[in-house]
Structure 1
């Protein structure tokens, strides 16, 4: 069984008056550039989403190799800000950060109209609550099988909304609503991220996370299934790294160190990675020629998807 990705990016719950929101985790850790594993031996989907953004990466997946390379060439010209014919680490780093910011903006745009019911350019808590949970609010979720979970979700949404709402008027501006949807990008939202993480993993409600809870959140074996190597590695990380005071549990401060390691710059790491892999003349910058020679690392196409499918089928034989 594949690990359940705890570091998942928030999927906003868009509802209409007859729709109950899907039950899902809505915990934000520091956001990575992609939900895919960063393993070049298993394809370049992580690099594609990091370089293009998630939505644009899907578009490139539908293109022919020729179209994909042509569009990549135009992107390279945009990245080369000083027009010296090369893409430097700084230029590539800035581009990747730009694409990630654009993803957030597009995500907020996607849902804004759904929630701004009175079209006043703001989203009140009542608008969000009624759009997401509306039909069932008056029924106290009596029509839902697991109404306790939905009541808990509503309570958590309200708590997060109030933290994002800096002026306390229960009406979110665009920036406040962005903080609500993407709390990992805002310092004042860190405490609520930690609180939600603790609530999701601390199954027995004792205010701390044991090893069994830590592993159980990421991996639940099927009958007779042995633990994969990565589980053993995570157990070691829990004992040797996560549990800083060696009491056998993670408290809130230790969870904060785990999920909000501020020194990590994923965009910087990805820029270094792409340059290292494609800088054939080792001048610490990459030309358009070098990029296009490794085009499938930067962007996808129907051809790269086909190749990955063939590899996957071969591995399964």
Structure 2
């Protein structure tokens, strides 16, 4: 859980910033999306839990069950084809090194695809570079000219603009405010570049240090992962995260993390994400504990592999990713 949180924390998905304004606008009440007189679903109509009622109402209960069965059958078929590519030596087994290499390949491919799409969005004059002004105009131009009615949103985005500019300048090695492809990749994925690590630490402190005292206490650490409902008991995983804060991240045992402890937390020495994920997938799938997994053992754990980087979180099991 802690490693997953770290990845989420510093993955720096800039496209989220572009979408937040739309999501912040008022939306119609979700409960009014489906009108129902008869029993359209066996599931409660509670969108706070899930949208299964709406799904059943749209497809019909029997059709929905058929859809789910077809979805899993097709996903298993595509995962089986993927396994053949992961098994490089073709011996019918997938080993931890093969999984690790594939996960690295999947990550590189995903980053490359994201980079290509993002580059086209921002390189407006098609000169093979992205100037800071080009990026700013696409991402923040609306808010710079926004009316006073949206002052709250505007102020929030001006703060994001300031942080984006700091990150852009940090990635821009020659300081000309014009990013090459490699510099823009460092801007998008700072966790992949050693010279950007100080910025990640600063961003993390800025985000988590709510009282601005230069430290991150355990409550600030938990607040970034979990917001309890009124009267709700703390889940076990939150209790575990709280304990891990004191055991693993608070190195000097003073009850809070300083800048160097934050650095150790988000940049643990000798940590290889692909290797750790490969270990986990192998451990969970290897029922006979022979340190290798068959195609069937992988297919038996379809849901877990769909939720892993090995399938790009399920995206590689769709038709548009037939060729990998």
| Pairwise same-fold verdict (TM > 0.5) | yes
Structure 2 counterparts to residues 82-161 of structure 1, below 5 A? 82-137=89-144, 143-161=150-168
TM-superposition CA deviations, 1:33-86 (whole Å, max 9, x none): xxxxxxxxxxxxxxxxxxxxxxxxxxxx99634433332332222222233333
Query: How far apart in 2 are the matches of 1:297 and 1:211?
Result: 30
Q: CA deviation at 1:115?
A: 0.8
User: Aligned pair in 2 of structure 1 residues 112, 21: CA closer, same or farther (>3 Å)?
Assistant: farther
- 1:10 aligned to 9, 12, 26, which one? 12
Structure 1 residue aligned with 2:239: 232
Structure 1 residue aligned with 2:203: 196
User: Aligned pair in 2 of structure 1 residues 289, 125: CA closer, same or farther (>3 Å)?
Assistant: same
Name stretches of at least 5 consecutive residues in structure 1 with no aligned partner. 24-60, 306-317
User: Aligned pair in 2 of structure 1 residues 79, 235: CA closer, same or farther (>3 Å)?
Assistant: closer
**Are the counterparts in 1 of residues 222 and 241 from structure 2 also a CA contact under 8 Å?**
yes
Structure 2 counterparts to residues 262-277 of structure 1, below 5 A? 262-277=269-284
Query: How far apart in 1 are the matches of 2:134 and 2:285?
Result: 49
1:168 aligned to 2:175?
yes
User: Aligned pair in 2 of structure 1 residues 191, 289: CA closer, same or farther (>3 Å)?
Assistant: same
Query: How far apart in 1 are the matches of 2:147 and 2:5?
Result: 31
**Are the counterparts in 1 of residues 285 and 301 from structure 2 also a CA contact under 8 Å?**
yes
Q: How many residues align?
A: 260
Query: How far apart in 1 are the matches of 2:261 and 2:179?
Result: 31
Structure 2 residue aligned with 1:261: 268
Query: How far apart in 2 are the matches of 1:14 and 1:210?
Result: 27
Q: CA deviation at 1:208?
A: 1.5
Please, what TM-score do these two structures have when normalized by structure 1?
Answer: 0.70
Structure 1 residue aligned with 2:48: none
Q: CA deviation at 1:21?
A: 8.2
Higher relative contact order (CA 8 A, sep 6+): 1
**Are the counterparts in 2 of residues 183 and 189 from structure 1 also a CA contact under 8 Å?**
yes
| Greater Cα radius of gyration, structure 1 or 2 | 2
Query: How far apart in 2 are the matches of 1:6 and 1:282?
Result: 29
- 1:80 aligned to 69, 78, 87, which one? 87
Please, what TM-score do these two structures have when normalized by structure 2?
Answer: 0.69
Query: How far apart in 1 are the matches of 2:149 and 2:193?
Result: 36
Alignment root-mean-square deviation, CA: 3.3
User: Aligned pair in 2 of structure 1 residues 178, 281: CA closer, same or farther (>3 Å)?
Assistant: same
